Chains A and B, each alone.
Chain A
Amino acid sequence: MAWSYFSSPATFYRLARSLAPWFFALAALLAAAGLYTGFVVAPTDAQQGEVYRVIFIHVPAAWMSMFLYFVMACYAGMSLTFNTRLAAMMARAIAPTGAMFTFLALWTGAFWGRPTWGTYWAWDARMVSELVLLFLYIGFIALANAFEDSRRGDRAASLLALVGLVNLPIIYFSVQWWNTLHQGSSVKFTGSTMHVAMLQAMLLMTFACWMYAIGATLTRVRSVILERERRTRWVRAL
C-alpha cells in the first residue's frame, strides 16, 4: 500500500476519523496509570514534600511542547519542499495543541516554583526558551491566519516554523550564557537520582500526553480539511 494514498485529504479525513478515538482512549488509560503512579505510588520527596508531584504534569507538558514543535516544523518543511496540502494542514492542526502544552508547562512551572524556590518566575534558559516557544506557536498560528489566501498563510507560517526551529537552540544557549554572567536564580532540578516510581510516572504521563496530542491533532485536522476542501465534490457529498 503506497503511503502517498494517504496524502489525499479525502482519504486522510476518513482515516483520521477512525483512528482518533483509539488515541484518545489510549491517552486516557496511560494518564490514569501515570497519575496513579505519580500521586499514589511515588513516595514523598525528602526536600520538596507533596508539591513536587506537579512535575508529573509539568515535565511531560514541557517535553511535548518541544517535541510537537519539532514535528510541526517537519511538516512545515515537507509542505514547503513537496508542496503538499496535507502536510501544511497537519502543521496547522498541531500548533494549537503545542501551544496548549507550552502554556501548561509554564503555568505548572510557576505553580511548582513558588513553594519550592519562592518565586513564580526565574530567568533561566529553560523558562525563557519555553516562553519564546509559546510566542513561536502563537506567531505561527497568527501568521497562518493573517492572509486571505490560506495557501499563502500555510507557506509563510511554514517558513516561520523552520526559522524558529533554528532560532530556539540559539535563544536557549544565549540565555544560558547570560545566566552564568548575571548569577541569576538558577533553577535546578533537585534529585538527580529519581525514585523508580517517579520515573515510571513521568514516562507514563509523557506517553499519555503524546497519545492525546495525536488524537487532538487528528480531530483538528479533520475540521481543517473540511474547511479547505469545502468546494470539492467529496465534501459537498458529506
Chain B
Amino acid sequence: MSGFAWAFARDLRLAWRHPGETLMVVAFFVLVASLFPLGVGAEPQLLRRIGSGVIWVCALLAAFLSLSSLFASDYLDGTLEQMVLSPRPMIGWTSGKIAAHWAATGLPLTLLSPLLALQYGLDADTVAILALGLALGTPLLSLLGAACSALTLGARGGGVLLALLALPLFVPVLIFGAGAAEAQASGLSAAPHLSLLGAGLIVGAMALPPAACAAIRIALD
C-alpha cells in the first residue's frame, strides 16, 4: 500500500467518522449562495447574469473554510511527526491527504452546484460547464490551500492569516472557472478556460505537494 493510499483511506475514514466538517462546508456554501439574491434582489435576469460568478465565489469561500483543518489536527496530536519520520516518501502521503480533503469538501461542493444553479435560473449547458469547472477547480483550490495551510501551522492570527495567503492564490482559479461558465452562457466556447484550468490542475498537482512538504518540514522544525 503506498503512502498515498494509506493517507487517502485514513483521512476519508476520519472524515466519515466526523462528518461535521463536510456538513459545515456544504451548509456554508448553500447559505451564502442564498444570501446573494436577498441582497441584490431576485430579478431573474440579474440572477442569471451573476449566478455562475456568485456560485464560484461561494464555493471558493466554502473550500477556504475547510483548509485550516487539513494538517492542523495531525499537527496537534503528533501524527504529522510520525508521518514525516516514516520511511514512506513525504510526497505520497501529503498528496493522499490533499486528495482526501478534496473528496470530503470540494467534491460535495461540485455535486451540489447544479442545485444552487437552479436557484439562479441558469440554463442546463451553463450548469454543466459550471460543474465541470468546479470539478477541475476545486482540486486546485485544495492543492493551493494545502500549501498555505501548511505554512500557517501553529501561527498566531490563524484564520485571517490563512485568508491573506490563500485568497490571492485562488484568484486565477476563480477567473477561469467563472469565466468558463459565463462564456458558455453568452454563447462562446468555454474550452479555452477549461483547458487552462485543466493545465493549471496538472501543473499544480505536480508542483504544489512538494511546496506543501517543504512547508510541513518548516512547521515541524
Contacts and interface: CB of A to CB of B under 8 A. Distances in A.
Given A136-B168, A156-B215, A174-B175, A143 B152 contact: yes
Interface in B163-215: 164-165, 167-169, 171-172, 175-176, 179, 182-183, 211, 214-215
B218 to A, nearest CB: 5
A171 interface: yes
A-side interface mostly: helix
22 contacts: A135-B164, A135-B167, A135-B168, A136-B168, A139-B164, A142-B161, A142-B164, A143-B151, A146-B157, A146-B161, A151-B221, A156-B152, A156-B215, A156-B218, A159-B151, A164-B168, A174-B176, A177-B175, A177-B176, A177-B179, A178-B179, A181-B182
Contact of B168 (A139, A146, A178): A139
B89 interface: no
Contacts, number: 72
Interface in A51-108: none
Interface in A152-169: 152, 155-156, 159-160, 163-164, 167
Interface of B: 147, 151-152, 154-157, 161, 164-165, 167-169, 171-172, 175-176, 179, 182-183, 211, 214-215, 218-219, 221
Contact of B172 (A138, A151, A156, A174): A174
B99 to A, nearest CB: 20
A155 B172 contact: no
A160 B175 contact: no
Interface of A: 128, 132, 135-136, 138-139, 142-143, 146-147, 151-152, 155-156, 159-160, 163-164, 167, 170-171, 174-175, 177-178, 181
